Amino acid sequence: MTHIPVLLTEALDALAVRPEGVYVDGTFGRGGHSRALLERLGPNGRLIALDRDPTAIAAGQSITDPRFTLVHARFAEMGAVLEQLGVHDVDGVLLDIGVSSPQLDEAARGMSFRQDAPLDMRMDTSRGETVAQWLARAEEAHIREVIRDYGEERFASAIAKAIVAARSERPVDSTTQLAAIVASAVRTREAGQHPATRSFQALRIFINQELEELSLVLPQALAALKPGGRLAVISFHSLEDRMVKRFMADQASPPQPPRNLPLRADQLPQPKMKLIGRVRAGDDELARNPRARSATLRVAEKVA
């Protein structure tokens, strides 16, 4: 399936792109947002993109625009990448969080239960442990916690027990095998949702440390922004969206000092950001790309 960038126009409008500005696309993917952003930049503009997926880096080699720099790195390494490039502040940061359509649709990645494949799920296939390797050694309690906390799965205990029982007979190392194990342990599920949906999502988030990465990159993005620069984050999962929402709200509402502490107005804590808004996909986009149904774009601007 061709990758369709979600909330493309909305994200670029939210960034309020300045033709001569410097921007960061923290999640290059297949370059849909980056290519569109380059079209809005003038000859002196600059775009720096990051991605942890070697396949995405290979796809990005086709962009030969001198204004464009692509780096193989996790977005949580954004601060270090910008420092290495000698970039001290930027006009905007875009993050499109989560798994991309090509990663889901490429069977060999093992992120989907719809096709039989090795149980991998890594976004960066050049390093780290696969889901199969982790399931082979993890304790039942840890498996239960991961599926419960990252998948918000109410049958996490039964699923973990079933996985441990199954691996005692043979390694759990394929997507269809894991999906069948989970389906045997899940008693009911919402109409139209595969019993393994939440478990696969949880294992993918865990093995790629997606929430940890997000918690690390948000303050780095804020630090990199110029006053007036904007942070735009597209998320697809309630846990991710909640983290983005809280971060932006916290930065827009500084802690209040004790009432009996005498301070001048210029000594009071000042907000670091102001909230710009939240956007969801419209009906036209949902008709073209059903995967956009869970996408939420949140935008905030750094204040002086």
**228 marked as binding residue:** no
**251 marked as binding residue:** no
**75 marked as binding residue:** yes
Helix (H) or strand (E) run with residue 90 in it: strand 90-96
44: Cβ contacts below 8 Å, ≥ 6 apart: 19, 20
Instruction: Cite the DSSP H helix spans in 41-155.
Output: 54-60, 78-85, 101-105, 131-137, 140-151
What SS3 state is found at 145?
helix
**103 marked as binding residue:** yes
**25 marked as binding residue:** no
Burial of 270 per CB tally in 10 Å (0-12, 13-18, 19+): exposed
**21 marked as binding residue:** no
What SS3 state is found at 298?
strand
| Residues 204, 182: Cα–Cα separation, whole Å | 15
Q: Would you list the DSSP string of 197-244?
A: HHHHHHHHHHHTTHHHHHHHHHHHHHHHEEEEEEEEEEE-SHHHHHHH
| Residues 269, 292: Cα–Cα separation, whole Å | 38
**142 marked as binding residue:** no
The binding site comprises 31-33, 51, 75, 96, 103
The binding site for S-adenosyl-L-methionine comprises 31-33, 51, 75, 96, 103
